[in-house]
Each structure stands twice: as C-alpha cells, then as structure tokens.
Structure 1
Amino acid sequence: MTVIVRDLRPGERADTEAFARVRHLALPWTVSTPDSVAHAVTHAHPAAHHRSLVAELDGEVVGTAQVGIAHDSPQPGQGSLNVYVDPRRTRRGAGSLLVRAAEEHLAAHGATRLFAWVLDEPAHRAFAERHGYRPSRSAHFLRLGLAHRALPPPRTPPPGVELRTAADYADDPRPVFALDAEVTADEPGDVAAEFTDYEAWLAETWDHPLLDRDLTSVVVAEGRPVAFSAACTDGATRYATAMTGTARAFRGRGLAKLAKSDSLHRARAAGYTEAFTGNDAGNSAMLAINRWFGYEIRATEVRHVRQLG
C-alpha cells in the first residue's frame, strides 16, 4: 500500500468530489460540496497561504487537509491545519503524512503556533498528542431534523424591527459586512479575527457557493442590519447555520433567536430536511437557543495547539 500527499486540483471535478466525500464521511454533521471545496482554494486570500491537500492510498483519495495562516488575526504567526481521514481507511499513514506536509508549509510561511480541530474520541485525541498537540477549547456539532420535528412557532418582530434577507442587500452588501465583522470579532475562540478587507469578504463569504442569501435572515432596526442568521445549503436537503449573531448595542432582545427562527422556518418550507450548526462549548447563550429549537449535540471537537520552535 502506497500513500502519497499532493495538492487538491480544484479544476478537476473528480478531485473536489473525492475531497467532499471524505469530509462528509469524517464529519457527517457539516455541509460540503465539490463547488465549495474548489472555492476554498481559488478564492483564498493570498496572505492566508491556503492549501487544500489530499492523501491518496493506491490512487484513492482517503484523507484531506485544509491548511492556512490566520491572516485576519491581529496576532501574527498563527496557522491552522484540519486533517480528516476516511474512517474506513485509518491507520495507513495518511493522517501523519498530511500533518507533516501541513506543518512544513505553515512553518515555511512564518507560523509559530498551530491549531487543529480533533474529534473528541480516544483514537483521534491520541493521534494529536503523538504529534505534539495539546488540547484547548472544545466545540459541538448539532443536528435538527427538519422533516419530522416541529419547530417552535415563528416569532413576531417587535415594534420598530423588521425581517429581511441577505438577498435584499445584493446591490450593496456592505451593511451585512459591517455586521458580520462586529459579530465575528466577539465570537469565542482561540484565534481572534478582524474583518477589515471588504473585497476579500465578498470573494470568500458573500460569493461562497454554499451561502444561501434567500434563506439568510437579517433583522433590521434603526435603518440597518443588527442581527442575522447566515444559511448555507447544499442545494438539496442539507441546511447549516454558518453564523448567528447580534450587534453589541442590540443584544439581549432576542433578535438572534428571531433571525434563526425565520431562517429555519423558511428552510423547511423550501424542502430542506436536515439542519446543522456548530457551537463553542462555552457559548452557553447560543447553545440554549439551539436547544430551544430542538437541536441535539451529535459530536464534539477539541481544538488542539502546538507551539513550533
């Protein structure tokens, strides 16, 4: 058995399909498509030094890695590598080769601290620790069956508040960018992010093939977006919330719940049967909202950290 690691070929449909297939097998609680896989490579910011790697076992893609520098973080030298292997093809060296290639790439571009998400299972955690990574914070994958579970009734906007969609901002998405930047800056995590590059946000987020602008709900008050729930879909049956949040001055009024309720109800009406989301384990407020909707935790990942040098 021969394992090799190489770069993903974003222009080859068979390659992006194989990458998406492995990610789905390893993380069935996420949404990924061949188009989204290609987009991550072709629209990455140059400063991210992004690479999508695949591991081939006798010509079959059995492992993937997404690698990059956190260029939008105020703290330099932070890199990430998220490695996933087909659960049916583990213990053949694919994961270790992907880690080695990723670390060499990140170190060559100045990374001194590496972050990797690892499933909270004994074998996965042991693998990370053997490679010098130590556990940090954790996050949950959650699932809600839209086809057979009743949702709480739609919520009515309070006076002075209205519901719109991201599609309403197609001509000028900058107000949505401003809200996303504020919410992202306050998101719990090991690596802080600051959205300052509007053009990069357009390419990486607004034009992302998974983003469903019609199902992305935006709460408007005082003439501007103040809360939103960003919807990603595979165009078939799977719907995921990429981000839900509220501007600082409007928190504590139930506006995030309003946005998510509106998006979920419209997603079910559009025929989506499964809803997914992710939560930092310490984000008790958002976890409570998701439990209220009926989401259930299906798996947990633990962020692992390795210091280089």
Structure 2
Amino acid sequence: MTTGVVIRSAVADDADGIAALRRAVYSYKVMSAAATRHMITVQTPGQRFLPLVAESGGEVVAWGSAGLNVWTSEPGQSEVSIYVHPDHRTQGIATALADRLHQHLTEVGAIRVRAFVHPDGLEFARNLGYDGTRQMHFSGVDPRSLPEQPETPDGIELVTLDQVDPRRVHTADAIATLDEPSDSPLDSIEYDQWFEEVWQGPALDKSLSVAAMAGDEVAAFTAVETAGDRAWSGMTGTIPAYRGRGLAKLVKSVALRRAAAAGITAAYTSNDDENGPMLAVNNWLGYQRVQTELGLLRTL
C-alpha cells in the first residue's frame, strides 16, 4: 500500500469526508453526512459493525465496513462494503481494507459474506473469492417531470409518514420486505432496532415519505431519504392483501411530487433484477438506468 495512507476506525467526525467520498464514487447513491454519522454511531451490538477509513494527507480517500446481518434468521450472514476514491485506486488500499474486514468477520462468526461491486471491480472481487451473478440496477429520475398521478382507489387514504404510528409502518415494512429478492430471507426485523436505525435515522424524511392507509392499516408505503437536492427511495412496499391495485405506483408518484416541491432535482432508487413489479413501476415513472452492480457472495 502507498506510503502515507493510514487505515483506522471511522469516527463520527469523519462523516463529512465519507459523504463526499461516497458522492465522488457513487453519484447515484444518496447518503447525507448526518445519515453517515448515524450509520457509524448507531449500531446494535449483534451487528459487530466495523467501519474503517483510509486517510491520506488528512483526507478520507477510502471506506470499508463489515458486519453481521441481524435482520435475517439465518446465522452467520454478513455484508462488506469497500470503495476507494478514483484518484487513489491501484495503490493496494482496497486490498488492505478487505484483509482487515474479512479477518474481523471471521472473528465474529460470519459464515457467508455479501458484497455489491461495480463491473470494473469484478475482477478484484473474484480474486478475493467472491462469486455470483445477482444484478442490482440503479436508476434516476427528475421528479419535476413525471407522468400524470394515478387515481386513489376507494377506501384508500394517502398520508405522509409523519402522520402514522411507527409500529404500523414497521409492520408493513417487515411484511413487504419478506418478498424482497435476497440471498438470505429478511425475516427478522426487530422493532426496537428498526425504530432506532430507520425511523429515528436522519436520512428518512417522513414529510416526503407516503403511506396508503386502508383504515388503520398501512397498505403500501414508500420511504424517501434526502441529502441536499437529491433523494433516495429507501423502500417501497405493498402488503400482499393490497397488491395488484397500483398502490406502489401511487405512493411513489405522490412522494416524488412532494420531493420536487421541496427542491429535489434528482431521485434515485435500486432494484434487484428479479423484482419485475417494482422495475415496471419505476419504468412507468420515467426512471432511467444509470448503473448496474453485481451482487456477489463469498463463503468464509
């Protein structure tokens, strides 16, 4: 690794530098400095989360993190994330981060690691023992230019999430997430952790996020995260009893309009290649694909 590069644990004060790095590497992934600080500082002990940065000349030039997935009933499932500023690649930084992170995961009992990589990082990941073909499509839309908003079905009321009991949102989120394409079932989303990490997190803008209510029940919802003039769809879901009525299209259409009114000029989302219904919704809304990443797995 290049002399002068220091790898150390990330701390809250690194949040601005990490957010700037993330934007330089992934123009289509939206995470504010406040949300980055929350990610570093708010973790459940069971995740055994390790955040690292590589620093050169006092500047954050790379990020690495690893931890256990506590939202699945399958033991030993984990995730790793590494990204390096374009100006600091091919210097051994990613390899040094990967070594530290994989050692940590082995020590905390991880069995299988999941990572998403740019196509240009595929060879690097394969050399580390990663394999797989899952595709994650990232796309963006200007929310100021949308098709006509769909009609609201009878019996459905549209409200923003700041008007909904978080326990009702958690119930809908936990049910809808069961059908998300994934290498491990996301079947263990515990309320207290969800409340602290998601509901209380600074990324979630509850005034832009929208729920379709059927009486007291959240039938469908879309969660909007913001950073400056950009927005991210954290999750859009419909519980099974209300599917086939266009509610995902409706709540997302309403939320994007609210985002545009709030000054958002670019909204991004991601979809697994197998998630045909949500891909169709986003295509209808006018999302244009900006990148496809590859989902890979490694057994430790």
Fold match (TM-score > 0.5):
yes
Instruction: Render the CA deviation track for 1:72-129: whole Å, top value 9, x for unaligned.
Output: 21111111101111112100111111111110111100001111110123xx101101
Native 8 Å contact 1:62 1:94 kept in 2: no
Amino acid at match of 2:224: A
Which residue does the alignment assign to 2:9? 7
Runs of 4+ in 1 over 6 A off after TM superposition: none
Structure 2: unaligned runs, 5 residues or longer = none
Q: Secondary structure at the match of 1:213?
A: coil
Task: After TM superposition, list the pairs within 5 Å mapping 1:41-60 onto structure 2.
Answer: 41-60=40-59
Shift of 1:204: 0.4
Instruction: Render the CA deviation track for 1:13-72: whole Å, top value 9, x for unaligned.
Output: xx1111111111111101112211111122111100112110123443211012110122
Which residue does the alignment assign to 1:173? 166
Which residue does the alignment assign to 2:288? 296
Which residue does the alignment assign to 1:286? 278
| Partner Cα distance (2:235, 2:281) in 1 | 13
Shift of 1:196: 4.2
1:140 partnered with 2:145: no
Shift of 1:146: 2.9
| Partner Cα distance (1:195, 1:176) in 2 | 15
Q: Secondary structure at the match of 2:139?
A: strand
User: How many correspondences in the alignment?
Assistant: 298
Which residue does the alignment assign to 2:216? 223
Q: Secondary structure at the match of 2:206?
A: coil
Q: Secondary structure at the match of 1:266?
A: helix
| Partner Cα distance (1:137, 1:249) in 2 | 28
Task: After TM superposition, list the pairs within 5 Å mapping 1:254-293 onto structure 2.
Answer: 254-293=246-285
Instruction: Render the CA deviation track for 1:152-194: whole Å, top value 9, x for unaligned.
Output: 112221111110110102xx31000100101112111112212
Amino acid at match of 1:192: P
Task: After TM superposition, list the pairs within 5 Å mapping 1:118-157 onto structure 2.
Answer: 118-121=117-120, 124-147=121-144, 150-157=145-152
Q: Secondary structure at the match of 2:274?
A: coil
Q: Secondary structure at the match of 2:54?
A: strand
Amino acid at match of 1:9: V
Which residue does the alignment assign to 1:35? 34
| Partner Cα distance (2:17, 2:23) in 1 | 10
1:190 partnered with 2:183: yes
Moved more, 212-221 or 191-200: 191-200
Amino acid at match of 2:131: R
1:305 partnered with 2:300: no
If the length of structure 1 is used for normalisation, what is the TM-score? 0.93
Identity %: 37
Moved more, 22-31 or 186-195: 186-195
Q: Secondary structure at the match of 2:98?
A: helix
Which residue does the alignment assign to 2:198? 205
Which residue does the alignment assign to 2:19? 20
Amino acid at match of 2:103: E
Q: Secondary structure at the match of 1:65?
A: strand
If the length of structure 2 is used for normalisation, what is the TM-score? 0.96
Q: Secondary structure at the match of 1:80?
A: strand
Shift of 1:195: 3.9
| Partner Cα distance (1:76, 1:26) in 2 | 32
| Partner Cα distance (1:53, 1:33) in 2 | 18
| Partner Cα distance (2:275, 2:71) in 1 | 22
| Partner Cα distance (1:59, 1:93) in 2 | 18
Amino acid at match of 2:268: F
Structure 1: unaligned runs, 5 residues or longer = none
Native 8 Å contact 1:31 1:238 kept in 2: yes
| Partner Cα distance (2:262, 2:15) in 1 | 27
Native 8 Å contact 2:11 2:40 kept in 1: no
